[in-house]
Structure 1
Amino acid sequence: MSEPITLNVGGRLYTTSLTTLTRYPDSMLGSMFGGTLPIKKDLQGNCFIDRDGKIFRYILNFLRTSHLDLPDDFQELGLLNREADFFQIQPLLEALQKIKAKATTVRMNTILNIVYDSHLHNIGSFPVKIISVEVFSSSCALLKLLNSKFYYTINGERTPIDTKEENQNLISLEWVESGLNAMGREYLMQNWKSLHVSASHRKIKNLQMFFQQVIKVAVNGGFLLHSFPTTSSSPVIMQFTQC
C-alpha cells in the first residue's frame, strides 16, 4: 500500500491515496501522480494545486467512489463543472451533464400548488377571519424566494416566516385577514399574525391579494407564469418555467 498523500488545494488540506488520485489515468491528477506532469509543493511539502479548495471535496469523493453525491440544495453546479473540466475528469463531466439536463427539465416544469382554508373567530361582535395556507412546489428555489419575500408582524414587530427545514418543498402560513386597532390587546393574547410582502411592505388583506403577490414575486424572481386556474376551486395550481 502507498503512503497517504496530502494535497493543499487552494489552502485546504486533503489526505488520500495514490490509487484514488490515479483512478482516471487520462485526467490531470492521473497525469500528475502518474509521473507525466510535474507536481508543485507548498512550504510544508504538501502537493499544491491552486484551485477552489471547498469544491474539491466533491472532486475527491468522486475519485474515491466513481459516484457523484451532492446535497439537495447544492447551488454550485457551474463551478463544479469548471473544476471537473480543469482536472479533465471525463466521467465526472458526464455525470454533471446528466444532472444539468435533469435540472433543466425541472425548471421547465415548476409547479406551485397552494392549498388554503379559512375560518371565523368571533371576539364579541367582531368576526376575525383566520387564513391557513400551505404552499407546495417542485422547485426549492421558488419556495426559498417566496419565503424571503413574505413576513409576519405580531403586535407591530416584524417576524420571519417559520419554515419546516425537514420539508424543503412546503411553506405553511397562517395569518389574520384583517384587523382592527382596537383589538390590539386581543391580537397579542391570541398570538395572531398579519402577513406582509417586501419590499413594498404591503399588508396582505385577502387570499386574492396573496395569490397576486405570489405571482409578482415569482415573475420578478425570474419565473415565467404559464398557467393559472380561472375557477375558484381549491387548490390553486400554477405552472412556471424558470428563466
Structure 2
Amino acid sequence: MSGPITLNVGGKLYTTSLKTLTRYPESMLGLMFNGALPTSKDQQGNYFIDRDGKIFRHILNFLRTSHLDLPVGFQELELLNREADFFQIKPLLEALQTVKSPITEIKKNVMLNIIHDSRLHNVGTYTVKIVNVQVFSTSFALLKHLDSKFYYVFNGDNLSAGTNLGDQKFISLEWVESNGTRMERHYVMQNWKSLYVSPSHLQIKNLAMFVQQIIKIAVDGGFLLHSIPSVSSDPVILHFSQY
C-alpha cells in the first residue's frame, strides 16, 4: 500500500495515503491499516467502512493536519463526536471538547405569549384594577419554571399561585393592583389577591412589572431575550433562545 488508498465510507469515496490513515497508530484506522484489524473491500476493490460518509471528511482532514478546522455555522458536532469516538481518534476527541457549535450553544428558539386584560372596580372613592394574564410558551420547561416563582398574598397569608400544569400549556394568574394596606379588608371581601414574585418577594404592581419579572426569571434560567416587547400590545410576545 505504497500508493494512494481509496476508501468507500458509507458510499462516499475518499483517496488518501497510508501515512495519513496511520497517523494515530492506536486509532481504529491505524490498527486497520497496520494489519492489526481486518478490513473489507467493495466490488471495485475500495476499502469499505460502513460509517457516515459525509462527516468522514472532517475525520480525514484532522488525520492530514492534526488540526480541527470546521466550517462556519457547523451544526453536526454531536455526530462528529460520535464518529471520532467510533474511530477512537483520541486527539480529535480532545479537540472537540473545546468546540461549541451553534446547535449546542443555542438549543432552540422559544416563544412566550402573555395574553392580558383588566377591569376596574370602584370601592368607595377608590378605583382598583384587577389584572388577568394567561402565559403560553413553546417551552414547557420555561412555563413550569415560571409557574413556581409567583405567589399570592391574601388576608395576610402567602398562597401558591401554581397552576399544577400537568398537560396544561399555559399559566393563568389574576391579581389586584394594590393601592395600599388600607384597602386590604375590601380585597378580602371581594376575594382579591396581591401577586408577588420569589425569591425577591417583590409585589407585582402592574402588567409592565409582571413582564419585567418574567424576563428576569427567564434570563436567570439560561434564556436569551431577543427583543424588548411592547407591553401595550395584546398579546405581549417574547422571543428567547435557550442555551
**TM-score band (shorter)?**
0.5 to 0.7
2:163 counterpart residue number: 163
One-letter code aligned to 1:177: E
2:138 counterpart residue number: 138
Name the CA shift for 1:235/1:107 in 2 (closer, same or farther; >3 Å).
Answer: farther
Per-residue deviation, 1:166: 5.0
In the alignment, does 2:167 pair up with 1:185?
no
- The sequence identity of aligned pairs, in percent, is 59
Per-residue deviation, 1:231: 6.7
The TM-score normalised by the length of structure 2 is 0.54
Which deviations, in whole Å up to 9, do the C-alpha atoms of 1:159-180 show, x marking residues without a partner? 1114153543200000001133
1:33 counterpart residue number: none
2:38 counterpart residue number: none
1:233 counterpart residue number: 233
2:209 counterpart residue number: 209
Name the CA shift for 1:226/1:128 in 2 (closer, same or farther; >3 Å).
Answer: same
1:174 counterpart residue number: 174
- Given that 2:152 and 2:194 are in contact with CA atoms closer than 8 Å, whether structure 1 keeps it comes out as yes
State the distance in 2 between where 1:119 and 1:133 align.
Answer: 12
- Given that 1:164 and 1:170 are in contact with CA atoms closer than 8 Å, whether structure 2 keeps it comes out as no
Q: Secondary structure at the match of 1:119?
A: strand
Name the CA shift for 1:205/1:146 in 2 (closer, same or farther; >3 Å).
Answer: same
Which deviations, in whole Å up to 9, do the C-alpha atoms of 1:196-216 show, x marking residues without a partner? 111110001111111111000
State the distance in 2 between where 1:232 and 1:181 align.
Answer: 28
Per-residue deviation, 1:107: 4.7
The TM-score normalised by the length of structure 1 is 0.54
**Count of aligned pairs:** 141
Per-residue deviation, 1:181: 1.7
Structure with the higher fraction of residues in helix conformation: 1
What stretches of structure 1 of length at least 5 have no aligned partner? 1-102
Query: What is the aligned-residue RMSD (CA, Å)?
Result: 2.2
Name the CA shift for 1:230/1:120 in 2 (closer, same or farther; >3 Å).
Answer: closer
Write the mapping of 1:1-243 to structure 2, written as runs, cut at 5 A: 107-163=107-163, 165-230=165-230, 232-243=232-243
- Given that 2:207 and 2:231 are in contact with CA atoms closer than 8 Å, whether structure 1 keeps it comes out as no
State the distance in 2 between where 1:218 and 1:123 align.
Answer: 36
My pick for the range that moved more, 148-157 or 130-139, is: 148-157
- Given that 2:230 and 2:236 are in contact with CA atoms closer than 8 Å, whether structure 1 keeps it comes out as no
One-letter code aligned to 2:159: T
One-letter code aligned to 1:228: I
One-letter code aligned to 2:134: E
State the distance in 1 between where 2:149 and 2:234 align.
Answer: 24
One-letter code aligned to 1:134: Q
Segments ≥4 residues shifted beyond 2 Å: 164-168, 227-232
State the distance in 2 between where 1:188 and 1:116 align.
Answer: 23
State the distance in 2 between where 1:151 and 1:210 align.
Answer: 12
State the distance in 1 between where 2:119 and 2:107 align.
Answer: 35
Q: Secondary structure at the match of 1:142?
A: helix
- Given that 1:140 and 1:168 are in contact with CA atoms closer than 8 Å, whether structure 2 keeps it comes out as no
State the distance in 1 between where 2:122 and 2:173 align.
Answer: 21
Q: In terms of Rg, which structure is larger?
A: 2
Which deviations, in whole Å up to 9, do the C-alpha atoms of 1:76-121 show, x marking residues without a partner? xxxxxxxxxxxxxxxxxxxxxxxxxxx98x9512110001101101
